[in-house]
Structure 1
Amino acid sequence: MRMVFRWFGENNDTVTLDQIKQIPGTEGIVWALHDVPAGEVWPLDKITEVHDLAKKYGLHTEVVESVNVHEDIKLGLPTRDQYIKNYIETIENLAKIGVKVICYNFMPVFDWARTDLFKELEDGSTALFFEQDKIHGVDPFDLVKLINQNSDLTMPGWEPERLAHLTSLFEAYKNVTEEDLWDNLKYFLDAIIPAAEKNGILMAVHPDDPPFPIFGLPRILNDQPGFRRLLSLHDSPANGITLCTGSLGAKPSNDIISMIHEFRGRIPFTHIRNVRVMDNGDFIETSHKTSDGTVDITGVVEAYHDTDFTGYCRPDHGRHIWGEQCRPGYGLYDRALGIMYLWGLWDAFSSQKKSSAGAASGEGK
């Protein structure tokens, strides 16, 4: 397991590279050019700038999250071919500075959704919260405003400029079915997977967040059968999954541990975080500690250890603790605590495995 930490850039993050390098066992950043609109080519000079800056702090830039897929590709419009061409050029540029994994998603309009960014937990910390009744009754325009008014830092996937296009996007998706979305995803993969293979990059799609339809928009990647179908579209290591335990864990029927075993070798990147799911379907993000949420984090780490996982891992979202003022879900303190919890589990399983091997060896003498 190779630990990395999401970072939004020098002028768009409260966490510094100097702080990230001090988190034990953390070797790189998960980054993106957030100022480049979806569909445009990422300029090599801007890519190199981030790479060189991280290198000064002894951190690599091997994982990118996300190279966003333009909506015309998801909609299957005639204009998609030019946007796919641009995407391939971005893949080629990223390969030049040693990028190994590109995380992306195929969710229409919104990359993720929450109804409260600072819901208070029992211990006084706050965290991202999703309320079923509120999401069903809210106007998407109001949700965009809510998410952006609570932070001075841009929230990825909810940039204010999206307001200008929401009406036309919802109209465009009105008659798009899940099968249409699958067809458009296959068209996209048919074009980019050969380019990814040629450039030594693994594409890793992120699950739907939350893992069910919202606002009447189709969603297709939120359970085991969905990922099984995705991998069947291209039997190539370059066609992989970003297995996010928090996103998938918001649907209690998902067996995440089974997914880790079944999709072994096709998970180049994982997000590990915990959520507590209520009986009515609401969920709130918690600490990484297994007993604090619904996701069996201990079992997840054990499954990765048992399958000899060598991919990249990040602690994903964290709570807001100790008075930290930060981008919602992306502070330093709780994510650093999460990393140490994950390493503690990993080390325990490594020690257990070593002891078992030693005992077995002794029995043979």
Structure 2
Amino acid sequence: MKMVFRWYGEGNDTVTLQQIKQIPGVEGIVWALHDVPAGEEWPMDKILAYKKQADEYGLHLEVVESVNVHEDIKLGLPTRDRYIENYKRTIEKVAKVGAKVICYNFMPVFDWIRTDLHKRLEDGSTALFYEKAKVEDMDPMELVRKINENPEFTMPGWEPERMGRLTELFEAYKQVTEEDLWRNLHYFLEQIIPVAEANGVKMAIHPDDPPWPMFGLPRIVTCRDNIRRLLKLVDSPYNGVTLCSGSLGVNPDNDIVAMIKEFAGRIPFAHIRNVRLYANGDFIETSHRSADGSVDICGIVQAYHETGFTGYARPDHGRHIWDEQCRPGYGLYDRALGIMYLWGIWDSMERLKTGTPLNRREPYAAH
């Protein structure tokens, strides 16, 4: 298991590369060019600037999250081919700075959805929260009207560049069924997987978050059967999944451990986080500790160890603790704690497997 840490870039992240370097076992950053609109080809000068910053701290750029997929590709519009060509060239460019995995998603209109970014937990920390009834009562067109009246109004997870197209997108997706979305994903994968394979880059789709239809929009990467179908669309080791225990884990019917065992070899990237589920369908994100939530993090890490996982893993959304002011879900402290919890489980599995101490026995050379 290779540990990495998501970083939004200098000026966009409260966490510094120096701090990331000091987290035990972290080898690289999970990065992206967040200022480049979805569908546009990434400029090489900006990619090289990221590499220069990472190199200063001995961190690699082997995992990209995300190269966003343009809505015209998801909708299957005639214009999609131009955006797919841009995507191919971006794959080729990030490969030149060492990228081995690209995480992406195929969720219509918006990414993850939460109703509260700072819901208070019993210990006084805050975390991302989803209130089922509040979402079900929302009229997306009313939200569009609110956004048009107040451009600063948004929902957590809605990307700013999509706000101006909401009315158009909701109208366009009225004609798109789940099967249409599957066909459009298949077309996309048939085009890009050969390029990814030629450049040694594994594509890893992120599950839908949450994993069920939202506002009448289809969502298709939601469960074990759908992941199985996805991997068969283009049956290549370069067509994989970013297995996110938090996204999939909010549906209690999803057996994450069973997925890890079945899809071993097709999981180049793992997001590991915990959530607490409530009987009414609400959920809140918690610490990574198994006992704090509803997801068996110990069982998940054990499954990765037993299947010989050599891919990349990162702690996903963390709580906001110790008065940290940070990007919601992406502070330093709780994610660093999460990494140490994950390493604790992993190292215990290693010790049980080998029966020998994991520490260095001979003295270190003089520094």
Question: Structure 1 pair 233/80, CA: closer, same or farther in 2 (3 Å)?
Answer: same
Specify the alignment match of 1:300 in structure 2: 300
Pairs within 5 Å for 1:279-318 = 279-318=279-318
Give the Cα separation in 2 of the matches to 1:353 and 1:161: 49
Give the Cα separation in 2 of the matches to 1:138 and 1:50: 39
Specify the alignment match of 2:23 in structure 1: 23
| C-alpha contact (below 8 Å) 2:268/2:312 kept by paired residues | yes
Give the Cα separation in 1 of the matches to 2:161 and 2:42: 19
| C-alpha contact (below 8 Å) 1:181/1:218 kept by paired residues | yes
Specify the alignment match of 1:260 in structure 2: 260
User: Over aligned residues, Cα RMSD in angstroms?
Assistant: 1.8
Deviations 1:162-214 (A, max 9, x none): 22110000000001000000000000000000000000000000000001111
Deviation of residue 137 (structure 1)? 1.6
What code does the residue aligned with 1:38 have?
A
| C-alpha contact (below 8 Å) 1:117/1:147 kept by paired residues | no
| C-alpha contact (below 8 Å) 2:110/2:159 kept by paired residues | no
| C-alpha contact (below 8 Å) 1:62/1:99 kept by paired residues | yes
Give the Cα separation in 2 of the matches to 1:159 and 1:235: 31
Give the Cα separation in 1 of the matches to 2:129 and 2:135: 11
Deviations 1:276-335 (A, max 9, x none): 011111100000000100000000000000001000000010000000000000000000
Give the Cα separation in 1 of the matches to 2:154 and 2:112: 16
Give the Cα separation in 1 of the matches to 2:325 and 2:274: 21
Is residue 71 of structure 1 aligned with residue 71 of structure 2?
yes
- List runs of 5+ in structure 2 lacking aligned partners: 357-367
Give the Cα separation in 2 of the matches to 1:150 and 1:324: 23
Report the number of matched residues: 352
Give the Cα separation in 1 of the matches to 2:152 and 2:239: 33
**Secondary structure class of the residue paired with 1:323:** coil
Pairs within 5 Å for 1:222-241 = 222-241=222-241
What code does the residue aligned with 1:290 have?
S
Specify the alignment match of 1:35 in structure 2: 35
**Secondary structure class of the residue paired with 2:355:** helix
Is residue 166 of structure 1 aligned with residue 173 of structure 2?
no
| C-alpha contact (below 8 Å) 1:3/1:26 kept by paired residues | yes
Specify the alignment match of 1:243 in structure 2: 243
What code does the residue aligned with 1:340 have?
M
Give the Cα separation in 1 of the matches to 2:98 and 2:106: 24
Is residue 112 of structure 1 aligned with residue 112 of structure 2?
yes
| C-alpha contact (below 8 Å) 1:274/1:287 kept by paired residues | yes
Question: Structure 1 pair 147/281, CA: closer, same or farther in 2 (3 Å)?
Answer: farther
What code does the residue aligned with 1:193 have?
I
What code does the residue aligned with 1:78 have?
P
| C-alpha contact (below 8 Å) 2:111/2:159 kept by paired residues | no
Deviation of residue 8 (structure 1)? 0.2
Question: Structure 1 pair 161/202, CA: closer, same or farther in 2 (3 Å)?
Answer: closer
- Percent identical: 70
TM-score, normalised to structure 2's length? Answer: 0.93
Give the Cα separation in 2 of the matches to 1:135 and 1:117: 14
Is residue 204 of structure 1 aligned with residue 207 of structure 2?
no
Specify the alignment match of 2:82 in structure 1: 82
Q: Runs of 4+ in structure 1 displaced over 3 angstroms?
A: 139-151
Pairs within 5 Å for 1:139-218 = 139-140=139-140, 142=143, 157-218=157-218
Deviations 1:329-353 (A, max 9, x none): 0000000000000000000111111
| C-alpha contact (below 8 Å) 1:39/1:68 kept by paired residues | yes
| C-alpha contact (below 8 Å) 1:274/1:297 kept by paired residues | yes
What code does the residue aligned with 2:279 have?
D
Question: Structure 1 pair 305/314, CA: closer, same or farther in 2 (3 Å)?
Answer: same
- List runs of 5+ in structure 1 lacking aligned partners: 357-365
Question: Structure 1 pair 12/147, CA: closer, same or farther in 2 (3 Å)?
Answer: farther
Deviations 1:230-249 (A, max 9, x none): 00111111000000000000
Give the Cα separation in 1 of the matches to 2:347 and 2:294: 23
Deviations 1:250-284 (A, max 9, x none): 00000000000000000000000000011111100
**Secondary structure class of the residue paired with 1:240:** strand
Is residue 271 of structure 1 aligned with residue 275 of structure 2?
no
**Secondary structure class of the residue paired with 1:134:** helix
Specify the alignment match of 2:362 in structure 1: none
Question: Structure 1 pair 76/11, CA: closer, same or farther in 2 (3 Å)?
Answer: same
Give the Cα separation in 2 of the matches to 1:86 and 1:2: 29
Specify the alignment match of 2:10 in structure 1: 10
Is residue 332 of structure 1 aligned with residue 332 of structure 2?
yes
Give the Cα separation in 2 of the matches to 1:116 and 1:56: 37
**Secondary structure class of the residue paired with 1:330:** coil
**Secondary structure class of the residue paired with 1:352:** helix
| C-alpha contact (below 8 Å) 2:37/2:161 kept by paired residues | no
Give the Cα separation in 2 of the matches to 1:149 and 1:56: 38
Is residue 51 of structure 1 aligned with residue 23 of structure 2?
no
Give the Cα separation in 2 of the matches to 1:37 and 1:297: 35
Question: Structure 1 pair 28/147, CA: closer, same or farther in 2 (3 Å)?
Answer: farther
